[in-house]
Structure 1
Protein backbone atom coordinates (compact mmCIF):
# COMPACT_ATOMS: atom_id res chain seq x y z
CA UNK A 1 0.00 0.00 0.00
CA UNK A 2 1.41 3.38 -1.04
CA UNK A 3 1.74 6.01 1.71
CA UNK A 4 2.23 9.60 0.56
CA UNK A 5 5.13 11.47 2.17
CA UNK A 6 4.28 14.11 4.75
CA UNK A 7 5.86 17.35 3.64
CA UNK A 8 6.82 20.43 5.59
CA UNK A 9 6.55 23.60 3.53
CA UNK A 10 8.46 26.78 4.35
CA UNK A 11 7.52 30.04 2.66
CA UNK A 12 9.45 32.49 4.82
CA UNK A 13 12.52 33.44 2.82
CA UNK A 14 12.71 31.14 -0.22
CA UNK A 15 10.16 28.36 -0.60
CA UNK A 16 11.49 24.98 0.47
CA UNK A 17 10.10 21.51 1.14
CA UNK A 18 11.32 18.77 3.42
CA UNK A 19 10.21 15.22 4.19
CA UNK A 20 11.36 13.34 7.30
CA UNK A 21 14.00 15.98 7.88
CA UNK A 22 15.47 15.74 4.35
CA UNK A 23 15.26 18.55 1.79
CA UNK A 24 13.10 17.86 -1.26
CA UNK A 25 14.34 19.02 -4.66
CA UNK A 26 11.90 21.41 -6.25
CA UNK A 27 11.81 22.84 -9.77
CA UNK A 28 11.82 26.64 -9.79
CA UNK A 29 8.52 26.73 -11.69
CA UNK A 30 6.78 24.73 -8.96
CA UNK A 31 7.51 27.14 -6.11
CA UNK A 32 5.00 29.88 -7.07
CA UNK A 33 2.28 27.27 -7.64
CA UNK A 34 2.68 25.94 -4.11
CA UNK A 35 2.87 29.46 -2.72
CA UNK A 36 -0.29 30.55 -4.55
CA UNK A 37 -2.24 27.53 -3.35
CA UNK A 38 -1.10 28.12 0.25
CA UNK A 39 -2.21 31.76 0.07
CA UNK A 40 -5.59 30.64 -1.37
CA UNK A 41 -5.86 27.56 0.83
CA UNK A 42 -9.52 28.10 1.76
CA UNK A 43 -10.81 27.38 -1.74
CA UNK A 44 -10.18 25.42 -4.90
CA UNK A 45 -8.35 27.56 -7.48
CA UNK A 46 -9.32 27.53 -11.18
CA UNK A 47 -6.37 26.62 -13.40
CA UNK A 48 -6.80 29.72 -15.52
CA UNK A 49 -6.66 31.96 -12.45
CA UNK A 50 -3.51 30.28 -11.13
CA UNK A 51 -1.80 30.46 -14.52
CA UNK A 52 -2.62 34.17 -14.92
CA UNK A 53 -1.46 34.99 -11.38
CA UNK A 54 1.87 33.16 -11.72
CA UNK A 55 2.71 34.08 -15.36
CA UNK A 56 0.90 37.43 -15.77
CA UNK A 57 3.16 38.62 -18.60
CA UNK A 58 2.20 35.71 -20.88
CA UNK A 59 -0.92 35.04 -22.91
CA UNK A 60 -3.62 32.91 -21.33
CA UNK A 61 -2.84 29.92 -23.52
CA UNK A 62 0.89 30.10 -22.91
CA UNK A 63 0.44 30.62 -19.16
CA UNK A 64 -1.77 27.52 -18.98
CA UNK A 65 0.90 25.50 -20.81
CA UNK A 66 3.50 26.69 -18.28
CA UNK A 67 1.18 25.62 -15.47
CA UNK A 68 0.63 22.18 -16.99
CA UNK A 69 4.38 21.66 -17.38
CA UNK A 70 5.07 22.69 -13.78
CA UNK A 71 2.33 20.38 -12.49
CA UNK A 72 3.73 17.52 -14.55
CA UNK A 73 7.18 18.09 -13.01
CA UNK A 74 5.71 17.99 -9.53
CA UNK A 75 3.83 14.78 -10.26
CA UNK A 76 6.93 13.18 -11.77
CA UNK A 77 8.74 13.31 -8.42
CA UNK A 78 7.75 10.65 -5.93
CA UNK A 79 7.96 13.02 -2.96
CA UNK A 80 5.68 15.67 -4.48
CA UNK A 81 3.41 13.64 -6.75
CA UNK A 82 0.49 13.85 -4.31
CA UNK A 83 1.13 17.40 -3.07
CA UNK A 84 -1.38 19.07 -5.38
CA UNK A 85 -4.87 17.73 -5.90
CA UNK A 86 -5.61 18.18 -9.60
CA UNK A 87 -8.27 15.49 -9.80
CA UNK A 88 -10.78 18.04 -11.01
CA UNK A 89 -9.91 19.02 -14.55
CA UNK A 90 -10.22 22.76 -13.95
CA UNK A 91 -9.52 23.15 -10.22
CA UNK A 92 -6.40 22.94 -8.06
CA UNK A 93 -5.88 22.71 -4.31
CA UNK A 94 -3.21 21.51 -1.92
CA UNK A 95 -3.53 17.96 -0.65
CA UNK A 96 -3.41 18.48 3.12
CA UNK A 97 -2.72 14.81 3.75
CA UNK A 98 0.65 15.43 2.10
CA UNK A 99 1.23 19.07 3.07
CA UNK A 100 1.25 18.42 6.81
CA UNK A 101 2.83 21.64 8.03
CA UNK A 102 3.30 25.13 6.54
CA UNK A 103 5.38 27.70 8.42
CA UNK A 104 3.31 30.74 7.44
CA UNK A 105 0.04 29.06 8.47
CA UNK A 106 1.46 27.92 11.82
CA UNK A 107 2.84 31.42 12.41
CA UNK A 108 -0.43 33.16 11.55
CA UNK A 109 -2.62 30.92 13.70
CA UNK A 110 -0.40 31.14 16.77
CA UNK A 111 0.13 34.89 16.58
CA UNK A 112 -3.51 35.79 15.91
CA UNK A 113 -4.66 33.66 18.86
CA UNK A 114 -2.15 35.23 21.26
CA UNK A 115 -2.73 38.80 20.06
CA UNK A 116 -6.32 38.48 21.28
CA UNK A 117 -4.98 38.21 24.85
CA UNK A 118 -3.59 41.16 26.84
CA UNK A 119 0.20 40.98 26.77
CA UNK A 120 0.39 41.45 30.53
CA UNK A 121 -1.70 38.31 31.17
CA UNK A 122 0.18 35.81 28.99
CA UNK A 123 1.10 32.61 30.76
CA UNK A 124 4.49 30.96 30.42
CA UNK A 125 3.27 28.61 27.68
CA UNK A 126 1.70 31.41 25.64
CA UNK A 127 4.82 33.52 26.04
CA UNK A 128 6.95 30.63 24.73
CA UNK A 129 4.61 30.10 21.77
CA UNK A 130 4.78 33.76 20.83
CA UNK A 131 8.57 33.69 20.99
CA UNK A 132 8.60 30.55 18.82
CA UNK A 133 6.32 32.17 16.25
CA UNK A 134 8.52 35.28 16.09
CA UNK A 135 11.63 33.10 15.70
CA UNK A 136 9.97 31.23 12.82
CA UNK A 137 9.64 34.47 10.86
CA UNK A 138 13.31 34.65 9.84
CA UNK A 139 12.62 36.51 6.58
CA UNK A 140 9.73 37.90 4.55
CA UNK A 141 7.37 35.53 2.76
CA UNK A 142 8.65 34.43 -0.68
CA UNK A 143 11.19 37.24 -0.49
CA UNK A 144 12.35 37.02 -4.11
CA UNK A 145 8.89 37.03 -5.70
CA UNK A 146 7.64 40.20 -7.37
CA UNK A 147 4.23 38.75 -8.21
CA UNK A 148 1.39 40.96 -6.97
CA UNK A 149 -0.39 38.32 -4.89
CA UNK A 150 2.90 37.36 -3.19
CA UNK A 151 3.71 40.98 -2.33
CA UNK A 152 0.23 41.51 -0.86
CA UNK A 153 0.52 38.40 1.33
CA UNK A 154 4.08 39.34 2.25
CA UNK A 155 2.95 42.72 3.55
CA UNK A 156 0.02 41.22 5.46
CA UNK A 157 2.22 38.74 7.30
CA UNK A 158 4.93 41.34 7.86
CA UNK A 159 2.42 43.58 9.66
CA UNK A 160 1.33 40.59 11.73
CA UNK A 161 4.99 39.95 12.60
CA UNK A 162 5.47 43.57 13.69
CA UNK A 163 2.36 43.35 15.89
CA UNK A 164 3.77 40.13 17.37
CA UNK A 165 7.04 41.91 18.20
CA UNK A 166 5.13 44.73 19.89
CA UNK A 167 3.08 42.22 21.92
CA UNK A 168 6.22 40.29 22.82
CA UNK A 169 7.97 43.47 24.00
CA UNK A 170 5.04 44.31 26.26
CA UNK A 171 4.84 40.74 27.56
CA UNK A 172 8.56 40.63 28.36
CA UNK A 173 8.33 43.99 30.15
CA UNK A 174 5.34 42.78 32.19
CA UNK A 175 7.35 39.73 33.23
CA UNK A 176 10.20 41.96 34.38
CA UNK A 177 12.56 40.73 31.66
CA UNK A 178 13.89 44.15 30.69
CA UNK A 179 16.76 42.79 28.57
CA UNK A 180 14.38 40.76 26.39
CA UNK A 181 11.91 43.64 26.18
CA UNK A 182 14.65 45.99 25.01
CA UNK A 183 15.89 43.45 22.44
CA UNK A 184 12.42 42.92 20.95
CA UNK A 185 11.62 46.64 21.06
CA UNK A 186 14.84 47.58 19.29
CA UNK A 187 14.18 44.99 16.60
CA UNK A 188 10.68 46.40 16.10
CA UNK A 189 11.78 50.03 15.78
CA UNK A 190 14.58 49.02 13.40
CA UNK A 191 12.07 47.29 11.12
CA UNK A 192 9.34 49.93 11.47
CA UNK A 193 11.05 53.22 12.36
CA UNK A 194 7.91 55.32 11.83
CA UNK A 195 5.83 53.37 14.35
CA UNK A 196 5.48 55.81 17.25
CA UNK A 197 3.78 53.40 19.64
CA UNK A 198 6.86 51.17 19.37
CA UNK A 199 9.17 54.09 20.17
CA UNK A 200 7.00 55.04 23.15
CA UNK A 201 7.02 51.48 24.43
CA UNK A 202 10.80 51.31 24.14
CA UNK A 203 11.14 54.66 25.93
CA UNK A 204 9.04 53.34 28.83
CA UNK A 205 11.09 50.15 29.05
CA UNK A 206 14.30 52.18 29.19
CA UNK A 207 12.87 54.28 32.02
CA UNK A 208 11.74 51.14 33.88
CA UNK A 209 15.26 49.77 33.46
CA UNK A 210 16.64 52.96 35.05
CA UNK A 211 18.15 54.38 31.86
CA UNK A 212 16.52 57.74 31.20
CA UNK A 213 19.39 58.75 28.95
CA UNK A 214 18.58 55.95 26.48
CA UNK A 215 14.88 56.82 26.70
CA UNK A 216 15.68 60.40 25.70
CA UNK A 217 17.92 59.11 22.91
CA UNK A 218 15.06 56.91 21.67
CA UNK A 219 12.80 59.94 21.48
CA UNK A 220 15.41 61.76 19.40
CA UNK A 221 15.60 58.76 17.05
CA UNK A 222 11.82 58.79 16.67
CA UNK A 223 11.80 62.55 16.11
CA UNK A 224 14.53 62.27 13.47
CA UNK A 225 12.79 59.47 11.56
CA UNK A 226 9.49 61.33 11.45
CA UNK A 227 11.15 64.55 10.39
CA UNK A 228 13.23 62.91 7.65
CA UNK A 229 10.55 60.65 6.20
CA UNK A 230 7.32 62.58 6.79
CA UNK A 231 8.42 66.11 7.72
CA UNK A 232 6.29 65.99 10.89
CA UNK A 233 6.88 66.14 14.63
CA UNK A 234 5.99 63.31 17.02
CA UNK A 235 2.39 63.19 18.19
CA UNK A 236 1.23 64.94 21.35
CA UNK A 237 1.22 61.61 23.19
CA UNK A 238 4.87 60.95 22.35
CA UNK A 239 5.87 64.51 23.23
CA UNK A 240 4.04 64.26 26.56
CA UNK A 241 5.92 61.08 27.42
CA UNK A 242 9.21 62.76 26.50
CA UNK A 243 8.32 65.76 28.71
CA UNK A 244 7.63 63.43 31.63
CA UNK A 245 10.97 61.70 31.13
CA UNK A 246 13.04 64.88 31.12
CA UNK A 247 11.34 65.95 34.34
CA UNK A 248 8.70 68.52 33.48
CA UNK A 249 6.02 66.05 34.58
CA UNK A 250 6.00 62.83 36.60
CA UNK A 251 6.76 59.72 34.56
CA UNK A 252 3.63 57.58 34.12
CA UNK A 253 4.24 54.48 36.20
CA UNK A 254 2.96 50.95 36.31
CA UNK A 255 0.58 49.82 39.08
CA UNK A 256 3.44 48.16 40.98
CA UNK A 257 5.59 51.26 40.64
CA UNK A 258 2.68 53.43 41.82
CA UNK A 259 2.21 51.23 44.90
CA UNK A 260 5.92 51.40 45.67
CA UNK A 261 5.89 55.16 45.20
CA UNK A 262 2.89 55.47 47.54
CA UNK A 263 4.67 53.48 50.26
CA UNK A 264 7.80 55.58 49.81
CA UNK A 265 5.74 58.77 50.03
CA UNK A 266 4.06 57.49 53.19
CA UNK A 267 7.44 56.69 54.71
CA UNK A 268 8.61 60.19 53.87
CA UNK A 269 5.54 61.71 55.55
CA UNK A 270 6.19 59.61 58.66
CA UNK A 271 9.83 60.75 58.72
CA UNK A 272 8.76 64.36 58.26
CA UNK A 273 6.24 64.05 61.09
CA UNK A 274 8.89 62.61 63.39
CA UNK A 275 11.23 65.48 62.55
CA UNK A 276 8.45 67.95 63.23
CA UNK A 277 7.70 66.34 66.59
CA UNK A 278 11.39 66.35 67.50
CA UNK A 279 11.65 70.02 66.53
CA UNK A 280 8.55 70.84 68.56
CA UNK A 281 10.03 69.02 71.54
CA UNK A 282 13.17 71.14 71.28
CA UNK A 283 11.14 74.32 71.08
CA UNK A 284 9.12 73.21 74.13
CA UNK A 285 12.32 72.54 76.09
CA UNK A 286 13.66 75.95 75.12
CA UNK A 287 10.41 77.61 76.16
CA UNK A 288 10.40 75.84 79.53
CA UNK A 289 13.99 76.92 80.07
CA UNK A 290 13.05 80.55 79.41
CA UNK A 291 10.16 80.32 81.83
CA UNK A 292 12.35 78.85 84.56
CA UNK A 293 15.00 81.57 84.06
CA UNK A 294 12.32 84.26 84.20
CA UNK A 295 10.97 82.81 87.46
CA UNK A 296 14.47 82.81 89.01
CA UNK A 297 14.94 86.48 88.10
CA UNK A 298 11.56 87.41 89.55
CA UNK A 299 12.13 85.47 92.75
CA UNK A 300 15.90 85.46 93.57
CA UNK A 301 15.28 83.94 96.97
Structure 2
Protein backbone atom coordinates (compact mmCIF):
# COMPACT_ATOMS: atom_id res chain seq x y z
CA UNK A 1 0.00 0.00 0.00
CA UNK A 2 1.39 3.40 -0.92
CA UNK A 3 2.35 5.77 1.86
CA UNK A 4 0.27 8.87 2.23
CA UNK A 5 2.41 12.00 2.35
CA UNK A 6 1.50 14.40 5.12
CA UNK A 7 2.01 18.03 4.07
CA UNK A 8 4.33 20.17 6.16
CA UNK A 9 1.53 22.44 7.30
CA UNK A 10 -0.18 19.43 8.80
CA UNK A 11 2.61 19.11 11.36
CA UNK A 12 0.69 21.43 13.64
CA UNK A 13 -1.52 18.40 14.28
CA UNK A 14 -0.25 16.00 16.95
CA UNK A 15 0.46 12.43 16.00
CA UNK A 16 0.02 9.20 17.91
CA UNK A 17 1.96 5.96 17.56
CA UNK A 18 0.29 2.76 18.75
CA UNK A 19 2.46 -0.29 19.40
CA UNK A 20 0.08 -2.33 21.53
CA UNK A 21 -1.75 -5.00 19.51
CA UNK A 22 0.10 -3.99 16.34
CA UNK A 23 1.79 -0.98 14.69
CA UNK A 24 -0.40 2.01 13.84
CA UNK A 25 0.65 5.61 13.18
CA UNK A 26 -1.92 8.40 13.07
CA UNK A 27 -1.42 12.08 12.32
CA UNK A 28 -4.58 13.89 13.29
CA UNK A 29 -7.38 11.85 11.71
CA UNK A 30 -5.11 10.31 9.06
CA UNK A 31 -3.61 6.85 9.32
CA UNK A 32 -0.10 6.71 7.89
CA UNK A 33 1.12 3.56 6.16
CA UNK A 34 4.85 2.87 6.26
CA UNK A 35 7.20 0.17 5.02
CA UNK A 36 8.37 -2.50 7.47
CA UNK A 37 11.82 -0.97 7.85
CA UNK A 38 10.27 2.41 8.69
CA UNK A 39 7.93 0.81 11.22
CA UNK A 40 10.85 -0.87 12.96
CA UNK A 41 12.81 2.35 13.08
CA UNK A 42 9.93 4.25 14.70
CA UNK A 43 9.18 1.41 17.11
CA UNK A 44 12.84 1.21 18.13
CA UNK A 45 13.12 4.95 18.79
CA UNK A 46 9.88 4.86 20.78
CA UNK A 47 11.01 1.97 22.96
CA UNK A 48 14.69 2.85 23.34
CA UNK A 49 14.46 6.63 23.19
CA UNK A 50 17.05 8.82 21.43
CA UNK A 51 19.83 6.54 20.24
CA UNK A 52 23.18 6.82 18.41
CA UNK A 53 22.95 6.19 14.69
CA UNK A 54 25.50 3.37 14.85
CA UNK A 55 23.51 1.56 17.54
CA UNK A 56 20.25 1.91 15.62
CA UNK A 57 21.86 0.71 12.39
CA UNK A 58 23.59 -2.21 14.08
CA UNK A 59 20.40 -3.30 15.81
CA UNK A 60 18.02 -3.03 12.86
CA UNK A 61 20.45 -4.16 10.15
CA UNK A 62 22.79 -6.35 12.14
CA UNK A 63 23.13 -8.97 9.42
CA UNK A 64 25.11 -6.67 7.07
CA UNK A 65 28.30 -4.64 7.35
CA UNK A 66 28.31 -1.41 9.33
CA UNK A 67 28.67 0.66 6.17
CA UNK A 68 25.65 -0.95 4.54
CA UNK A 69 23.65 -0.77 7.76
CA UNK A 70 24.28 2.98 8.06
CA UNK A 71 23.33 3.40 4.43
CA UNK A 72 20.05 1.55 4.96
CA UNK A 73 19.38 3.70 8.03
CA UNK A 74 19.93 6.94 6.08
CA UNK A 75 17.61 5.75 3.33
CA UNK A 76 14.89 4.76 5.83
CA UNK A 77 15.10 8.08 7.72
CA UNK A 78 14.84 9.98 4.43
CA UNK A 79 11.79 7.97 3.32
CA UNK A 80 10.05 8.41 6.68
CA UNK A 81 10.58 12.16 6.61
CA UNK A 82 9.31 12.29 3.04
CA UNK A 83 6.02 10.82 4.25
CA UNK A 84 5.83 12.79 7.52
CA UNK A 85 8.22 15.74 7.51
CA UNK A 86 10.30 15.97 10.66
CA UNK A 87 9.06 12.66 12.08
CA UNK A 88 12.62 11.45 12.79
CA UNK A 89 15.05 14.08 14.00
CA UNK A 90 18.82 13.66 13.85
CA UNK A 91 21.23 15.68 16.00
CA UNK A 92 24.76 15.01 17.26
CA UNK A 93 24.88 11.61 15.58
CA UNK A 94 21.70 10.58 17.36
CA UNK A 95 18.20 9.88 16.13
CA UNK A 96 14.97 10.61 17.99
CA UNK A 97 11.26 10.56 17.38
CA UNK A 98 9.68 13.99 16.87
CA UNK A 99 8.15 15.63 19.92
CA UNK A 100 4.76 16.03 18.23
CA UNK A 101 4.34 12.21 18.33
CA UNK A 102 2.98 10.52 21.44
CA UNK A 103 3.04 6.76 21.96
CA UNK A 104 0.68 4.42 23.77
CA UNK A 105 3.45 2.40 25.43
CA UNK A 106 5.06 5.42 27.09
CA UNK A 107 1.69 6.85 28.10
CA UNK A 108 0.72 3.55 29.69
CA UNK A 109 3.98 3.27 31.62
CA UNK A 110 3.72 6.84 32.93
CA UNK A 111 0.06 6.41 33.85
CA UNK A 112 0.59 3.17 35.75
CA UNK A 113 3.79 4.11 37.56
CA UNK A 114 2.30 7.51 38.41
CA UNK A 115 -0.57 5.78 40.21
CA UNK A 116 1.63 3.57 42.37
CA UNK A 117 1.53 6.02 45.27
CA UNK A 118 -2.13 6.91 44.82
CA UNK A 119 -4.00 5.14 47.62
CA UNK A 120 -7.27 6.93 46.94
CA UNK A 121 -8.02 5.41 43.55
CA UNK A 122 -11.51 4.19 42.78
CA UNK A 123 -12.81 1.90 40.07
CA UNK A 124 -14.03 4.96 38.15
CA UNK A 125 -10.58 6.58 38.16
CA UNK A 126 -8.50 3.53 37.24
CA UNK A 127 -6.83 3.48 33.80
CA UNK A 128 -7.59 0.84 31.24
CA UNK A 129 -5.48 -2.07 32.47
CA UNK A 130 -6.48 -4.65 29.90
CA UNK A 131 -3.38 -6.66 29.13
CA UNK A 132 -2.30 -5.97 25.56
CA UNK A 133 0.64 -7.38 23.62
CA UNK A 134 3.41 -5.21 22.32
CA UNK A 135 3.91 -5.60 18.56
CA UNK A 136 2.62 -9.18 18.24
CA UNK A 137 4.56 -11.24 15.73
CA UNK A 138 7.76 -9.19 16.04
CA UNK A 139 10.63 -11.45 17.18
CA UNK A 140 13.55 -9.04 17.60
CA UNK A 141 15.32 -9.28 20.98
CA UNK A 142 14.68 -5.62 21.82
CA UNK A 143 10.95 -6.13 21.21
CA UNK A 144 10.75 -9.37 23.19
CA UNK A 145 12.48 -7.78 26.18
CA UNK A 146 10.20 -4.73 26.16
CA UNK A 147 7.14 -6.93 25.63
CA UNK A 148 7.94 -8.86 28.80
CA UNK A 149 8.67 -5.67 30.74
CA UNK A 150 5.32 -4.15 29.81
CA UNK A 151 3.52 -7.41 30.54
CA UNK A 152 5.02 -7.45 34.02
CA UNK A 153 4.03 -3.83 34.47
CA UNK A 154 0.46 -4.70 33.46
CA UNK A 155 0.30 -7.54 35.96
CA UNK A 156 1.72 -5.50 38.82
CA UNK A 157 -0.71 -2.68 38.04
CA UNK A 158 -3.68 -5.07 38.09
CA UNK A 159 -2.63 -6.55 41.42
CA UNK A 160 -2.05 -3.13 42.92
CA UNK A 161 -5.42 -1.91 41.66
CA UNK A 162 -7.10 -4.96 43.20
CA UNK A 163 -5.53 -4.13 46.55
CA UNK A 164 -6.58 -0.48 46.43
CA UNK A 165 -10.15 -1.35 45.46
CA UNK A 166 -10.38 -4.06 48.11
CA UNK A 167 -9.22 -1.64 50.79
CA UNK A 168 -11.95 0.75 49.65
CA UNK A 169 -14.62 -1.95 49.87
CA UNK A 170 -15.15 -2.18 46.10
CA UNK A 171 -14.93 -5.95 46.10
CA UNK A 172 -16.49 -6.67 42.71
CA UNK A 173 -14.11 -4.32 40.91
CA UNK A 174 -11.21 -5.66 42.98
CA UNK A 175 -12.00 -9.22 41.94
CA UNK A 176 -12.25 -8.15 38.30
CA UNK A 177 -8.75 -6.68 38.47
CA UNK A 178 -7.33 -9.68 40.34
CA UNK A 179 -8.85 -12.18 37.91
CA UNK A 180 -7.49 -10.18 34.98
CA UNK A 181 -4.02 -10.65 36.47
CA UNK A 182 -4.69 -14.39 36.81
CA UNK A 183 -5.76 -14.58 33.16
CA UNK A 184 -2.55 -12.81 32.20
CA UNK A 185 -0.46 -15.45 34.00
CA UNK A 186 -2.31 -18.39 35.60
CA UNK A 187 0.87 -19.59 37.35
CA UNK A 188 1.60 -16.23 38.97
CA UNK A 189 1.26 -16.61 42.73
CA UNK A 190 0.90 -12.91 43.53
CA UNK A 191 -2.11 -12.74 41.18
CA UNK A 192 -3.77 -15.69 42.95
CA UNK A 193 -3.00 -14.10 46.30
CA UNK A 194 -4.81 -10.94 45.18
CA UNK A 195 -7.92 -13.01 44.40
CA UNK A 196 -7.75 -14.89 47.69
CA UNK A 197 -7.30 -11.70 49.72
CA UNK A 198 -10.44 -10.18 48.20
CA UNK A 199 -12.44 -13.32 49.02
CA UNK A 200 -11.16 -13.26 52.59
CA UNK A 201 -11.89 -9.55 52.95
CA UNK A 202 -15.51 -10.31 52.02
CA UNK A 203 -15.63 -13.24 54.42
CA UNK A 204 -15.90 -15.81 51.63
CA UNK A 205 -13.73 -18.54 53.13
CA UNK A 206 -14.97 -21.26 50.81
CA UNK A 207 -14.24 -19.17 47.72
CA UNK A 208 -10.74 -18.46 49.05
CA UNK A 209 -10.24 -22.18 49.63
CA UNK A 210 -11.45 -23.05 46.12
CA UNK A 211 -9.15 -20.52 44.50
CA UNK A 212 -6.21 -21.85 46.49
CA UNK A 213 -7.06 -25.41 45.45
CA UNK A 214 -7.33 -24.44 41.77
CA UNK A 215 -3.94 -22.80 41.90
CA UNK A 216 -2.31 -25.64 43.85
CA UNK A 217 -3.65 -28.24 41.41
CA UNK A 218 -2.38 -26.24 38.43
CA UNK A 219 1.00 -25.54 40.00
CA UNK A 220 1.63 -29.15 41.00
CA UNK A 221 0.44 -30.39 37.63
CA UNK A 222 2.49 -27.93 35.55
CA UNK A 223 5.67 -27.55 37.60
CA UNK A 224 5.53 -30.25 40.27
CA UNK A 225 5.90 -27.76 43.13
CA UNK A 226 3.70 -26.50 45.94
CA UNK A 227 2.51 -22.92 46.56
CA UNK A 228 4.64 -20.90 48.96
CA UNK A 229 4.05 -21.05 52.68
CA UNK A 230 2.93 -17.43 52.55
CA UNK A 231 0.03 -18.23 50.26
CA UNK A 232 -0.85 -21.42 52.12
CA UNK A 233 -0.91 -19.43 55.34
CA UNK A 234 -3.70 -17.24 54.02
CA UNK A 235 -6.16 -20.15 53.86
CA UNK A 236 -4.85 -22.20 56.79
CA UNK A 237 -4.37 -19.39 59.28
CA UNK A 238 -0.68 -20.28 59.54
CA UNK A 239 2.23 -18.07 58.72
CA UNK A 240 4.21 -20.69 56.84
CA UNK A 241 7.65 -19.85 55.55
CA UNK A 242 8.13 -22.57 52.93
CA UNK A 243 9.55 -20.79 49.87
CA UNK A 244 7.98 -20.99 46.46
CA UNK A 245 8.84 -24.25 44.71
CA UNK A 246 9.92 -26.15 47.83
CA UNK A 247 8.83 -29.79 48.14
CA UNK A 248 5.66 -30.26 50.17
CA UNK A 249 5.91 -31.82 53.67
CA UNK A 250 4.26 -35.21 53.93
CA UNK A 251 1.82 -34.88 56.84
CA UNK A 252 -1.69 -33.55 55.99
CA UNK A 253 -3.02 -30.45 57.66
CA UNK A 254 -6.74 -29.45 57.58
CA UNK A 255 -7.60 -26.24 55.84
CA UNK A 256 -10.67 -25.65 57.98
CA UNK A 257 -11.90 -27.02 61.30
CA UNK A 258 -15.65 -27.36 61.80
CA UNK A 259 -17.01 -25.75 64.97
CA UNK A 260 -17.89 -29.27 66.14
CA UNK A 261 -14.30 -30.44 65.91
CA UNK A 262 -14.37 -32.32 62.57
CA UNK A 263 -11.94 -31.68 59.78
CA UNK A 264 -12.51 -30.98 56.09
CA UNK A 265 -10.39 -30.13 53.07
CA UNK A 266 -7.21 -31.82 54.35
CA UNK A 267 -5.26 -31.13 51.18
CA UNK A 268 -2.71 -28.54 52.29
CA UNK A 269 0.32 -30.16 53.79
CA UNK A 270 2.29 -29.27 56.89
CA UNK A 271 2.52 -30.42 60.52
CA UNK A 272 -0.74 -31.23 62.31
CA UNK A 273 -1.69 -29.30 65.39
CA UNK A 274 0.30 -26.27 64.33
CA UNK A 275 -1.53 -22.94 64.56
CA UNK A 276 -0.65 -19.32 64.17
CA UNK A 277 -2.26 -15.87 63.91
CA UNK A 278 -4.07 -14.73 60.80
CA UNK A 279 -1.78 -12.96 58.33
CA UNK A 280 -1.55 -9.22 58.61
CA UNK A 281 -2.39 -8.91 54.89
CA UNK A 282 -6.08 -9.44 55.64
CA UNK A 283 -6.18 -6.23 57.61
CA UNK A 284 -9.91 -5.81 57.44
CA UNK A 285 -13.01 -7.62 56.28
CA UNK A 286 -12.34 -10.80 58.29
CA UNK A 287 -14.78 -13.74 58.02
CA UNK A 288 -18.07 -13.66 59.87
CA UNK A 289 -18.48 -15.14 63.33
CA UNK A 290 -19.28 -18.83 63.68
CA UNK A 291 -16.50 -20.17 61.44
CA UNK A 292 -13.08 -21.19 62.66
CA UNK A 293 -9.72 -21.25 60.97
CA UNK A 294 -7.79 -24.16 62.50
CA UNK A 295 -9.58 -23.89 65.78
CA UNK A 296 -9.49 -20.08 66.03
CA UNK A 297 -12.85 -18.40 66.43
CA UNK A 298 -13.26 -15.51 63.98
CA UNK A 299 -14.58 -12.17 65.11
CA UNK A 300 -17.31 -10.22 63.34
TM interval, shorter chain, is 0.7 to 0.9
CA displacement at 1:166 relative to structure 2? 0.3
Q: Which residue does the alignment assign to 1:171?
A: 164
Secondary structure, counterpart of 2:127 in structure 1: helix
Q: Is it true that 1:45 corresponds to 2:51 in the alignment?
A: yes
- 8 Å CA contact 1:110, 1:133 repeated in 2: no
Question: Which residue of structure 2 aligns with residue 134 of structure 1?
Answer: 129
Q: Show structure 2 runs of 5+ residues with no match.
A: 1-7, 238-253, 258-274, 290-300
Question: In structure 2, which of residues 53, 60, 77 is the aligned counterpart of residue 54 of structure 1?
Answer: 60
Larger radius of gyration: 1
Secondary structure of the corresponding residue to residue 25 of structure 2: strand
Aligned counterparts of 2:235 and 2:287: Cα–Cα separation in 1:
23
3-state secondary structure, aligned to 1:134: coil
| Structure 1 counterpart of 2:146, from 141, 148, 153 | 153
2:152 counterpart SS class: helix
CA offset digits 1:154-207 (Å, max 9, x no partner):
111111111000011112212222222222111111222232222122112223
The CA distance in 2 between the partners of 1:55 and 1:102, in whole Å, is: 24
Question: Cα offset for 1:6?
Answer: 1.6
- Are 1:195 and 2:201 an aligned pair? no
- Tell me how many residue pairs correspond in the alignment: 246
Equivalents in 2 of 1:46, 1:55: separation in Å? 14
C-alpha contact 1:27 1:73 (8 A) present in aligned 2: no
CA distance 1:93–1:63, shift in 2 (3 Å): same
Checking the alignment, whether the CA contact within 8 Å between 2:175 and 2:198 is kept in structure 1 is: yes
What TM-score comes out, normalization by structure 1 length?
0.72
Give yes or no for contact 2:202–2:287 (8 Å, CA) kept in 1: no
Tell me if structure 2 keeps the 8 A contact 1:53–1:147: no
Higher relative contact order (CA 8 A, sep 6+): 1
Q: 1:192 to 1:15 in 2, by over 3 A?
A: same
In structure 1, the partner of 2:39 is 31
Determine the structure 2 residue equivalent to 1:93: 96
Q: Which residue of 1 aligns with 2:19?
A: 11
Q: Structure 1, residues 108-137: CA drift from partner, whole Å, max 9, x if none?
A: 1111121134xxx3244xx545x32414xx
The alignment status of 1:72 with 2:70, answered yes or no, reads no
The answer as to whether partners of 2:200 and 2:285 remain within 8 angstroms in 1 is no
Task: Provide the TM-score with structure 2 as the length reference.
Answer: 0.72
Residue 260 to residue 238, structure 1, CA distance change in 2 (3 Å): closer
Q: Tell me what 2:221 maps to.
A: 228
CA-based RMSD: 2.7
Distance in 2 separating the partners of 1:13 and 1:95: 22
Name which of 64, 82, 86 aligns with 1:82.
86
Q: CA deviation at 1:258?
A: 6.0
Question: What secondary structure, in the 3-state scheme, does the structure 2 residue paired with 1:8 have?
Answer: strand
SS in 2 for 1:142: coil
How far apart, in 2, do the equivalents of 1:64 and 1:230 lie? 46
1:251 Cα shift?
5.9
**What CA distance in whole angstroms lies between the structure 1 residues aligned with 2:230 and 2:91?**
57
Q: Is the 8 A contact 2:158 2:177 kept in 1?
A: yes
Residue 237 (str. 1) matches residue 246 (str. 2): no
Shift of residue 84 of structure 1?
Answer: 0.6
Q: Which runs of 5+ in 1 are unaligned?
A: 262-301
